């Protein structure tokens, strides 16, 4: 039996500022993880990753990352993604400040 | 200190002009990211977790007041008002926007600074003893030769595509403050029978395969040094492993071929290229050396210093920990701690940078140094000015009296910023410092170097910490491995692992347990942690960390291993 596919979102850093963004359902880049499209189908996820990675005039370092779907939006399964969506822990900088 | 020639200034300006055009071509789509990435790395620009990061070289850690003020201006104008000083005597800006970087580089160029070769597989910023030109124990100032190596290595056509990065450190003192044994090439200025020469170490390095450097040449005359270094890099450039990134550093080449084989190859290469060095390098070195001539030291009474020591206990505590012996009578070397308890190791705000610049200008012969321990040094301060310097530092939270103590922690940026990190470093450093400040045990413990890395690449030098902490990702959880007994000094040693790692919430209590065990077992207050560890070995610390049962189990295992 094939292994169950862990739901994912597509994330990247913007070319101009380097800040973390996610691909939304409407194929826009959003700074908010809550607005990211959650991709539950493996084939679809890889296809959308290819399309997203081709937008190299907008973003760099595009990849798929595991998420747990929740009513409040996708929740990171790894602590690295938790930090990426929040910002550093030593200063109130980055997303935690920008998206207030 | 060294000032740019017209050639230097034109070279940096041209590189900046090229990079400005490269950024523009990336933004308008004419360059792909794959094409652009090596270009931005050549100019010190990384993409990290939350933003770009610009790494600016501070050659051999030396700055003047004007340069420090410019670093402050850049922090305020293009970043978030602060900069991070690193273990390689560089400064990193954590939040620059791509389009602003060409302006930042131009601003650096205005004060004779740049970010060239702070990344990529090139010869990186040459580091040196941060007490250079000031220390009482110094044989000679290591900075002139470091500057010569910088000029030789910058844009050296043979060495722009090395198997991997290459780091050189120089010390002019027997008390090695530059960790020369943990560099690709370590140079030590030594004196023998009245002659000054260089001991050349090779193949040291930390990272995933930590190694202590080996002596390649015991005593090399100065005139032969540059061709000899060129021969070393050239040999490694030819036989270094490009098939595997993790085996590409020269330490692996030396390890695999053996030091004798490497020496024979270097000697052969040296014989071939030595005639090409016709003495121009020595003329240049002479001119460089003139620029590093010592300032005119003042002769003045030190009464105010003695008086302040008697009347002000806070000043006295600071003077006892943060001053080092200067070679000129009546002078002191001031270490400014960037490790206020609870702050980020190595970070300085723009305001703090300006205060340090002002102090350097007013009291310090216009010189500042960045140490690999992530502090700032005023190398030449007359004792009579120390009370005023201390008062100004205290007013801007730079007066912490903790140099060389448990809260004077080296920490890499870790997963708060770095894209390579596997765990965070900064919060661990902050918590340890705050905890031991609250326990009021810092001075009781005495000399203690804790070094923290957030991944196996070891930017935080954890292998050579008296206590080293390595942050790892263990099944999706931050986990911290402890080593003890490491030493980054003249007889550098790698630390030994204590055993299983600790969760983030348990690491500070673990460090506390090690310290309490040390205090309980030391022969007396004058026996340092390192000395106690060398006398007693791991056993008492294992008991403190893991309990009797675990310590006994590992003792039996050791014995079985020895008998077998």
Question: What digits encode the pLDDT tens for the residues B212-246?
Answer: 999 999 999 999 999 999 999 999 999 999 999 99
Q: Is residue B560 scored above 90 in pLDDT?
A: no
ipTM for the complex shown: 0.96
What does the domain layout of chain B look like in residue ranges?
A: 6-110, 142-291, 303-395, 410-563
Flag whether A35 is in a domain: yes
According to the model, what pLDDT value does residue B562 have? 58
Q: Please answer yes or no on whether A83 and B426 come within 8 Å at the CB atom.
A: no
Residues 6 or more apart whose Cβ sits within 8 Å of residue A79? B415, B473, B476, B477, B478
pTM: 0.96
According to the model, what pLDDT value does residue B234 have? 98
The arithmetic mean of pLDDT across residues B306-311, rounded, is 96
pLDDT category, A2, cuts 50, 70, 90? Answer: low
Whose structure tokens read 């990061």?
A: B53
The arithmetic mean of pLDDT across residues B187-197, rounded, is 95
If DSSP states are collapsed to H, E and C, what string results for A37-95?
Answer: CCECCHHHHHHHHHHHHCCCCCEEEEEEEEEECCCCCCEECCHHHHHHHHCCCCCCCCH
Question: What digits encode the pLDDT tens for the residues B235-289?
Answer: 999 999 999 999 999 999 999 999 999 999 999 999 999 999 999 999 999 999 9
According to the model, what pLDDT value does residue B558 have? 67
Q: Is residue B43 scored above 80 in pLDDT?
A: yes
Task: Find the closest chain B residue to A62 by CA distance.
Answer: B33
How buried is B135 (Cβ within 10 angstroms: 0-12 exposed, 13-18 middle, 19+ buried)? buried
According to the model, what pLDDT value does residue A49 have? 98
CATH architecture of B6-110: Alpha-Beta Complex (3.90)
Flag whether A2 is in a domain: no
- The SS3 assignment for B196 reads strand
If DSSP states are collapsed to H, E and C, what string results for B131-142?
Answer: CCCCECCECCCC
Looking at every residue in chain B, the average pLDDT score rounds to: 96
**Which of B30, B32, B39, B49 to substitute to test the interface with A, most A CBs within 10 Å?**
B49
% of chain B beyond a pLDDT of 70 = 99
Flag whether A67 is in a domain: yes
Q: Is residue B517 scored above 70 in pLDDT?
A: yes
The arithmetic mean of pLDDT across residues B292-321, rounded, is 95
Q: Name the class of domain B410-563.
A: alpha beta
Size of interface A-B (CB pairs under 8 A): 71
Question: What digits encode the pLDDT tens for the residues A12-22?
Answer: 999 999 999 99
The arithmetic mean of pLDDT across residues B146-174, rounded, is 96
Closest C-alpha to B198, from B179, B178, B180, B172: B172
Contacts of B29 in chain A (CB under 8 A): 57
User: In CATH, what number does B142-291 get?
Assistant: 3.30.413.10
**In angstroms, what is the C-alpha Rg of chain B?**
23
Q: Is residue B413 scored above 60 in pLDDT?
A: yes
Flag whether A47 is in a domain: yes
User: Cα separations (Å) of B391 from B105, B378, B479?
Assistant: 34, 15, 41
Token reading at B365: 């012969």
* Residue-by-residue DSSP string for B107-171: HHHHTT---TTSSSSSB-PPEE-TTTTTBTTBSS-SHHHHHHHHHHHTT-GGGSS-SS-B-EEEE
C-alpha neighbours within 13 Å on the C-beta side of residue B474: 12
Q: Is residue B317 scored above 80 in pLDDT?
A: yes
Flag whether A66 is in a domain: yes
The arithmetic mean of pLDDT across residues B160-188, rounded, is 96
User: In CATH, what number does B303-395 get?
Assistant: 3.90.480.20
Contacts of B415 in chain A (CB under 8 A): 79-80, 83
According to the model, what pLDDT value does residue B339 have? 98
pLDDT category, B468, cuts 50, 70, 90? Answer: very high
Alpha carbon B422 to chain centroid distance? 21
Residues 6 or more apart whose Cβ sits within 8 Å of residue B179? B169, B186, B372, B461, B464, B488, B492
Q: Is residue A34 scored above 90 in pLDDT?
A: yes
* Domains B6-110 and B303-395 are alike in CATH topology: yes
Query: What range does the domain containing A22 cover?
Result: 8-98
Q: Please answer yes or no on whether B430 and A90 come within 8 Å at the CB atom.
A: yes
Flag whether A3 is in a domain: no
The arithmetic mean of pLDDT across residues B518-534, rounded, is 97
CA A79/CA A85 separation, integer angstroms: 10
Q: Please answer yes or no on whether B27 and A16 come within 8 Å at the CB atom.
A: yes
Q: Is residue B355 scored above 80 in pLDDT?
A: yes
Question: What digits encode the pLDDT tens for the residues B438-448?
Answer: 999 999 999 99
Q: Across-strand partners of B135?
A: B326
According to the model, what pLDDT value does residue B445 have? 97
Question: What digits encode the pLDDT tens for the residues B97-126?
Answer: 999 999 999 999 999 999 999 999 999 999
Total domains in chain A come to 1
Q: Please answer yes or no on whether A87 and B50 come within 8 Å at the CB atom.
A: yes
A20, A56, A88 ranked by CB distance to B416: nearest: A88
Q: Please answer yes or no on whether A89 and B48 come within 8 Å at the CB atom.
A: no
According to the model, what pLDDT value does residue B548 have? 79
Q: Please answer yes or no on whether A16 and B477 come within 8 Å at the CB atom.
A: no
Contacts of B347 in chain A (CB under 8 A): 90
């Amino acid at each position: 039996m094939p292994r169950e596919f862990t739901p994912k979102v597509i994330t990247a850093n913007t070319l101009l500022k380097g800040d973390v963004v996610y691909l939304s359902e409407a194929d826009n880049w959003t700074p908010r993880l809550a607005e990211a499209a959650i991709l539950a189908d493996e084939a679809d996820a890889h296809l959308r990753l290819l399309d997203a990675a081709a937008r190299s005039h907008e973003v760099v370092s595009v990849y798929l990352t595991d998420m747990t779907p929740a009513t409040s939006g996708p929740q990171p399964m790894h602590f690295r993604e938790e930090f990426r969506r929040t910002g550093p822990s030593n200063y109130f900088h980055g997303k935690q400040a920008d998206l207030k | 200190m060294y000032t740019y020639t017209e050639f230097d200034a034109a070279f940096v300006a041209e590189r900046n002009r090229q990079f400005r055009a490269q950024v523009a071509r990336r933004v308008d789509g004419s360059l792909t990211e794959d094409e652009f990435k090596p270009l931005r790395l050549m100019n010190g620009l990384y993409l990290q977790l939350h933003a770009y990061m610009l790494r600016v070289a501070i050659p051999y850690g030396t700055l003047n007041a004007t340069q420090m003020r410019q670093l402050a201006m850049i922090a305020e104008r293009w970043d978030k008002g602060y900069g991070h000083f690193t273990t390689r005597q560089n400064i990193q800006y954590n939040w620059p926007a791509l389009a602003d970087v060409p302006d930042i580089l131009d601003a650096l160029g205005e004060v004779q600074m740049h970010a060239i070769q702070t990344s990529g597989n090139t010869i990186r910023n040459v580091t040196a003893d941060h007490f250079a030109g000031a220390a009482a124990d110094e044989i000679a100032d290591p900075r002139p030769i470091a500057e010569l190596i910088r000029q030789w290595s910058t844009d050296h056509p043979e060495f722009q595509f090395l198997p991997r990065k290459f780091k050189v450190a120089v010390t002019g003192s027997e008390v090695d403050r530059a960790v020369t044994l943990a560099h690709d090439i370590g140079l030590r200025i030594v004196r023998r029978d009245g002659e000054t020469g260089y001991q050349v170490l090779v193949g040291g390095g930390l990272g995933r395969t930590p190694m202590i450097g080996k002596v390649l040449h015991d005593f090399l005359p100065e005139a032969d040094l540059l061709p000899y270094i060129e021969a070393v890099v050239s040999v490694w450039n030819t036989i270094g492993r490009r098939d595997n990134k993790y085996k590409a550093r020269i330490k692996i080449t030396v390890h695999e071929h053996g030091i004798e084989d490497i020496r024979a190859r270097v000697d052969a290469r040296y014989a071939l290229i030595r005639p090409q060095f016709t003495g121009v390098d020595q003329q240049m070195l002479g001119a460089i050396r003139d620029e590093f001539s010592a300032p005119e030291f003042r002769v003045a009474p030190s009464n105010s210093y003695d008086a302040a020591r008697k009347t002000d206990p806070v000043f006295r505590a600071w003077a006892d920990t943060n001053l080092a012996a200067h070679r000129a009578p009546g002078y002191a070397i001031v270490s400014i701690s960037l490790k206020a308890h609870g702050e980020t190791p190595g970070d300085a705000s723009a305001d703090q940078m300006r205060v340090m610049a002002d102090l350097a200008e007013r009291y310090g012969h216009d010189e500042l140094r960045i140490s690999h321990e992530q502090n700032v040094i005023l190398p030449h301060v007359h004792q009579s000015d120390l009370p005023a310097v201390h008062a100004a530092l205290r007013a801007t939270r730079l007066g912490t009296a903790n140099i060389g103590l448990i809260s004077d922690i080296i920490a890499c940026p870790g997963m708060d910023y770095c894209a390579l990190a596997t765990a965070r470093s900064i919060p661990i450093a902050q918590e340890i410092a705050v905890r031991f400040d609250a326990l009021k045990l810092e001075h009781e413990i005495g000399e203690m170097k804790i070094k923290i890395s957030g991944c196996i690449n070891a930017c935080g030098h954890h292998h050579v910490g008296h206590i080293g902490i390595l942050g790892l990702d263990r099944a999706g959880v931050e986990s911290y491995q402890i080593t003890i007994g490491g030493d980054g000094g003249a007889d550098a040693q790698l630390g030994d692992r204590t055993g299983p790692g600790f969760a983030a919430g348990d690491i500070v209590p673990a460090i506390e347990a090690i310290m309490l065990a040390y205090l309980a077992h030391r022969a007396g207050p004058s026996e340092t942690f390192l000395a106690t560890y060398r006398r007693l070995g791991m056993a008492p610390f294992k008991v403190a960390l893991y309990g009797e049962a675990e310590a006994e189990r590992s003792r039996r295992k050791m014995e079985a291993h020895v008998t077998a």
